[in-house]
Chain A
Amino acid sequence: MIVRRWVDGVDERLDGSSFISRNLRKVFPDHWAFMLGEIALYSFLLLVLTGTFLSFFYLASDEPVTYTGPYQPLQGQTVSSAYDSVMRLSFEVRAGLVMRQIHHWAALVFMGAVIAHIIRVFFTGAFRKPREISWLIGIGLFLSGIGAGFSGYSLPDDALSGAGLRIAYSIILSIPFVGAWVAYLFFGGEFPGPDILNRLLVLHIFIIPVVIFTLLGAHLAVVWHQTHTQFRASGRTEETVTGTPVWPKFALKSIGLAFTTFGVIALLGGLFQVNPIWLYGPFVPYSTASPSQPDYYIGWLEGLLRLWPNWEFHVFGHTVGELLLPGLVVPGLVFTILALWPFLEARASGDYEWHHFAQHPREAPVRSGFGAAGVTFFVVLVLAGGNDVVAKFLGIEVDSFNTVLRWTLVLGPVLSGVVTYWICRDLRDRRRHPLSAPLRVAFRRNAAGGFEEIESEPPVAGREVEEPDRT
């Protein structure tokens, strides 16, 4: 049989039989939450496939041309070659628009899956020793994803992305000492800068994808080597891993998930318009699209800029602008804390042991409290990033909505953190699964004629100690 001959041939040349059999028989545990990382991986593959197609049509040039394509409202307008090429791709290249929209949707799904995956790993303590490396790589992937998204949606040179670039330039400008130099070197000169589209293109289709490929490869290799964490269940130990072998069962399921992910994103790309640059119009420096919102994974950074007070400082005759703290320092702190969390937690708890069992959120109330606070912080900031749109939707003034958001940004995380901590601690102490049946309390009449509660064992926490095996 051809497969056997192939394995034989590999073995004779690479001495690979034991490698092949060991890895094909490797056991992969099964839990729905493992899907999140896989969805991120497969949306990235789709990004590469569709992005390659788009790159064959894109022109990174700000050379002005007159638009003569089929989209009537813009006919005769002067636009940049970059904008013109994306318009041509959207309206004249067959299957161009669907490819472009699939690409954009895949980026939205990719970042969503990355964020959900980080949240899952955080709340289950799956980042603990020995998996700190995977965690760090994951945070690196999150950052790279933000860079890839921003550099990508800035390429069409439309009015919306122009505003985003203008803000990015202004944030760079606010860096003490070297801000002006860094901004000029990156943009090639004063905004809009003659070279920026070309540089964004190289970042977007070469540098960042190489970084993501490398990090993804390392992430997968480490996960493969270390195996997944698992929840406690009967028959499971720290020293073993239980699941289905890679070949063929796990592989088929995972490839099935890949195709399903592709399919769902293709449906989104086909049916739901995204980034309609013809509605925004070409970028001109003297006009800003209103309302203008970035994609949600950057929306929280935009929210910080919108809610931050107008603090400007002066140091020895120099100026530290309003953008430095919300634009660079606070996001830097957020990412530093996020990246260092495994080490901070180990130090705070004094727990430097290996852990192959994942935890339920209720088993680590302090961590879960911090996690809930972090998620609240993120959600409030995403809302703030679209404060004008949300306020309009709610029918209230932006200014009063901002006041609410500011208080929520400060108090919301504290409140949700404390409440989560309290709930988790309570559940942990009662050793109950939150979704199990309500406690049944029995009373009996006592000798005095009153009622008293019958002392009973806490219910056997079946769901807690036994994650059902799914075969």
Chain B
Amino acid sequence: MRRASLVVALAFGAATLAALGLFVVYIAGGQPQVEGALLFVALAGIGAGLMVWATRLMTGIGQITQSRRHAQPPEEKEAAAEAMAGGVEEMSRRRLLYRLLLGAAGALGLAAIFPIRSLGRAPGASLFRTEWRPGLRLVDVDGNLVTRNTLEVDSFTTVFPEDAVGSGDSQAVLIRVQSGSLQLPLDRLAVAPDGYVAYSKICTHAGCAVGLYLARVHQLRCPCHQSTFDVLNGAQPVYGPAARALPQLPIEIDPDGTMRALGDFTAPVGPSFWDLPP
């Protein structure tokens, strides 16, 4: 008992000192680690003191047994059911009024849905297209023109249309591989000149930016769920949870070395959605 009250006193004393210490730390400009430690002593000191007080010093209060509440006697239950059902019957007796009320409430509920429409714009065709148009030049994240000389073989960079730098849905990866190593259908090989090939950077699984290029095996990998795409073979998924290939961006190289898009991606970019055709 004696020792317990000493412990409680010490705990409260330490808490007081720590709280005063917080004062000092705050005035001195603050320091997260010291603040955390002092808060711990101040708060846990009060907490520990209270718990020791309750468990060690309140020995006079023992265990008590009380009865639990029980179900109400049957006649009480009966009366409650009667009161509830009686009210419902009272209302449904006037069947027409009852139905009109339901109708009015339903109509009001419907009317309440309309403001939800104001929350955002209609999807329309926006999931099917991006900012890429024929003739737009490719630029990097800083808006600098990307040219034939920007990339070494087996390296890659993120590109945007020149008028939409940083755009969410138009981001693409431009990869330079050994010329002649791409295994694409002829029409798509024609828009990947000299070993330069561009794919949408949005993972077709959950939409993360496909930011890892494994140059040795020519694979793009998404850091979120490890979907992996074969760069040489049309960015077909070869591992992980993605089911669709990354859409390709058709490009050409001007005589002066700058690169241009020949149009939008070969398919809608990003994760699947209901209206996406098979």
Chain A: residues with CB nearer than 8 A to chain B? 26-27, 94-95, 97-98, 101-102, 163, 166-167, 169-171, 173-181, 183-193, 195, 225-227, 235-236, 238-245, 248-250, 252-253, 255-264, 266-271, 284-292, 305-306, 308-312, 314, 317-323, 326, 356, 387-388, 398-399, 402, 469, 471
Contact = CB atoms under 8 A, between A and B. Distances in A.
Contacts of A286: 141, 158, 160, 166, 168, 171, 201, 209
B37 A270 contact: yes
Contacts of A166: 206-208
Contact of B64 (A242, A253, A306, A326): A242
A456 B242 CA distance: 63
A27 B64 contact: yes
Contacts of A95: 26, 30, 35
Interface in B116-132: 116-117, 119-123, 126-127
A310 B169 CA distance: 22
Contacts of A356: 68
Interface in B219-278: 222-227, 237, 239-244, 270-278
A284 B171 CA distance: 11
A388 B46 CA distance: 43
B244 to A, nearest CB: 7
13 contacts: A190-B123, A191-B169, A245-B64, A258-B47, A259-B44, A270-B39, A286-B168, A286-B201, A290-B223, A305-B206, A310-B205, A320-B272, A323-B272
Nearest to B205: A322
A188 B117 CA distance: 10
A190 B170 CA distance: 12
Contacts of B166: 284-286
Given A266-B40, A269-B36, A308-B241, A253 B68 contact: no
A260 B208 contact: no
Given A240-B66, A321-B272, A252 B50 contact: yes
B225 A305 contact: yes
B58 interface: yes
A287 B209 contact: yes
Contacts of A249: 54, 58, 61
Interface string B69-108: 1100000000000000000000000000000000000000
Contacts of B158: 286-287
Contacts of B276: 318-319, 321
Contacts of B160: 286
B272 A290 contact: no
B212 interface: yes
The B contact surface, by secondary structure, is loop
A238 B67 CA distance: 9
Q: Which 6 A-B pairs have the closest CB atoms?
A: A270-B36, A321-B272, A263-B44, A259-B47, A256-B50, A260-B47
Given A266-B40, A267-B36, A319 B63 contact: no
A285 B66 contact: no
B243 A312 contact: yes
Given A170-B205, A243-B63, A252-B51, 10 more contacts: A27-B64, A166-B207, A180-B127, A184-B123, A235-B65, A260-B43, A262-B44, A266-B36, A286-B209, A305-B225
B32 interface: yes
Given A270-B33, A310-B243, A469-B63, A174 B45 contact: no
Contact of A185 (B43, B46, B58, B120): B120
Interface string B116-152: 1101111100110000000000000100000000000
Contacts of A177: 274
Given A270-B34, A292-B223, A184 B121 contact: yes
A402 B122 CA distance: 39
A66 B192 CA distance: 37
B49 interface: yes
B48 interface: yes
Contacts of A308: 241
Nearest to A306: B225
Contacts of A322: 205, 241-243, 271-272
